[in-house]
Amino acid sequence: MSTFDDRRNRIPLIAAVVLGVALFLVLWLVVGISPLLAWLVGWTPVAFAAYGVDKWQATHDGWRIPEIVLHGLALIGGVVGAWAGRAVFHHKTRKPVFLYVLIAASVLWIVLAGWIVLGR
């Protein structure tokens, strides 16, 4: 069964997407932060929380957040939260693929932000 077919994954996936988008919209439309910054700030706590929940579940033999979801949260804009979650919770530090994905996500968002801010 794939990650996305497992019913245990549906609610957390949907909750993460709804929360990330909701935070983005509030920060952008209500607070007035630029869309790029609102997007990154909106996804940061979602990624951080996902790393924290997955670490707690790992130490308590519970249901785990699929690795592809943690990667996706970093790539979609939660890269700062993913780095912070990795550092604070000492989570996924032994798996090189997480380091590679976080580096790639960091480069992606730095280049994209530079492209947007500097006028393409």
Amino acid symbol at 61: D
Cα end-to-end distance, the chain, whole Å: 42
pTM recorded for the entire structure: 0.89
pLDDT per residue as tens digits for the range 31-90: 999 999 999 999 999 999 999 999 999 999 988 888 999 999 999 999 999 999 999 999
Closest CA to 78 of 95, 65, 62, 61: 65
**Using CA atoms in the order 74, 99, 64, 80, what is the torsion angle rounded to 10 degrees?**
-30
Q: Are 117 and 83 in contact (CB under 8 A)?
A: no
In whole angstroms, give the CA distance from residue 115 to residue 120: 5
Phi, psi of 64 (to 5 degrees): -110, 150
pLDDT per residue as tens digits for the range 4-17: 556 777 888 888 99
pLDDT per residue as tens digits for the range 16-28: 999 999 999 999 9
If pLDDT is split at 50, 70 and 90, which confidence band does 3 have?
low
